[in-house]
Amino acid sequence: MDWNSFFSTVSQASASMIGVLLAFLVSRIISESSDYDRLEYDGQALIDESADLKTRIESMNFDWHDKRIYEEYDFDEARADLISLDNTSDEVKIDFLKRVLPRIYYPENFVRSLNIKINAAVKASQQSARQSSTAIGISAFQIPARVLMPPNTMLLQRLREFEDGFEDITFRVQSVIRRHKSLRRALQRNIIDMNGLSRSLLLLAPVVLLTVIYPLHFLPVPTGHAPSMTTNYAVILDLVLSIKGFFLIALSFLSVGLLVFLSFFCRRHVSVYHARIRAINDYYVQASWYSDRIGECNPFMLNPVDPFGSEAMPK
């Protein structure tokens, strides 16, 4: 048997098959890298848009809007409700404000003012009861006349423009959240692909050493000599210190180093994807990050339950 031809053929055939497989893996890495650049660009654009929406919401004067709505409401018509709110908790009063003034964004800011109106209504009711028990009759001149003020159309228009502006921002936030979720799913798919590529490259390292590099150390095989594996340290040291051993070791480091470098290149992308997904989960898909009133004040806001929230993040 011609051992020289055998080992040479085994090494060359293995190198050819590994080269084809490596070329496929490298093409996938190049494709994933271009996708990485695109996702990074899209992700940064979404972050900038999210930050702009958050800034616009923070610049809106909700106090002015709520105060105008509160002052325009006629609490005299709800005197009986005010009296019934006496000695009730703040939560009950906030629910009352939400019911009678649904356009107010922060009803909890008016609990103190509502308490003043409640106390005034209770005192007026008690005083009216005392007067009715002592008075024989009531003159028409004793009935206080209510002055009906015409609605301030300009103020109403400004309030409506404020609410329309907030609603428009809310729908834009909804759209951005959807796109962040879509980006998150794309990142998760890329994490799975990159992890597979990284593992495949690392698995190729021992295959290269055993099927390409190791058969070469037997060459050349003397005629009539059957090659065999040895554990003799002197023979191994002699091979390592030879010219053939030097080139085989250099080839081994070069091949394994290239595979390890490509594997860590994939892992670096995976770490960036994980960081981006954590930022998306912690901030950009949470409506409360933009404003604590978005989901509550917009009846058209989608269900806050994330249908993709149960997806396990790839390792």
Q: Which amino acid is at 161?
A: E
Q: With CA atoms as reference, report the closest residue to 29 among 266, 199, 205, 272.
A: 266
**Residues 284, 278: Cα–Cα separation, whole Å:** 10
The pLDDT of residue 281:
93
Query: In terms of DSSP H, where are the helices of the chain?
Result: 3-58, 62-72, 79-84, 90-100, 111-134, 153-208, 214-216, 233-240, 243-279, 287-290, 294-297
**CA pair distance 115, 100, nearest whole angstrom:** 15
Digit-by-digit pLDDT tens for the chain (315 residues) are: 688 888 899 999 999 999 999 999 999 999 998 899 899 999 999 999 999 999 999 999 999 999 999 988 888 888 888 889 888 899 999 999 999 998 899 999 999 999 998 998 888 888 877 776 655 444 444 445 454 455 678 888 999 999 999 999 999 999 999 999 999 999 999 999 999 999 999 999 999 999 999 898 888 887 777 777 777 777 778 877 888 889 999 999 999 999 999 999 999 999 999 999 999 999 999 988 998 888 655 444 444 444 334 444 444
Q: Can you give the pTM of this predicted structure?
A: 0.74
State the Cα–Cα distance between residues 181 and 153, nearest whole angstrom: 42
Short-list 88, 106, 107, CA closest to 97:
107
Domain segments of the chain as ranges: 3-68+156-297
The pLDDT assigned to 133 comes to 60
pLDDT at position 302: 42
Q: Quote the pLDDT of residue 48.
A: 95
Which amino acid would we find at residue 88? T
Residue 14, pLDDT score: 93
261's CB contacts (< 8 A; 6+ apart) are none
- Rounded to whole angstroms, the Cα distance separating 54 from 291 reads 7
Angle between helices 153-208 and 62-72 (to 10 degrees): 140
108: DSSP letter: G
Q: Which amino acid is at 139?
A: S
> For residues 105, 111, 113 and 118, what is the CA-based torsion angle, rounded to 10 degrees?
130
Q: What is the pLDDT of residue 305?
A: 42
- At 141 the pLDDT is 44
The pLDDT of residue 138: 47
CB atoms within 10 A of CB 178: 12
User: Looking up tokens 């989901």, which residue turns up?
Assistant: 295
Burial of 301 (0-12, 13-18, 19+ CB in 10 A): middle
Q: What pLDDT sits at residue 228?
A: 76
What's residue 306's pLDDT?
41
CB 266 within 8 A of CB 199: no
Query: Per the structure block, which two tokens stand in for 204?
Result: 């190729």
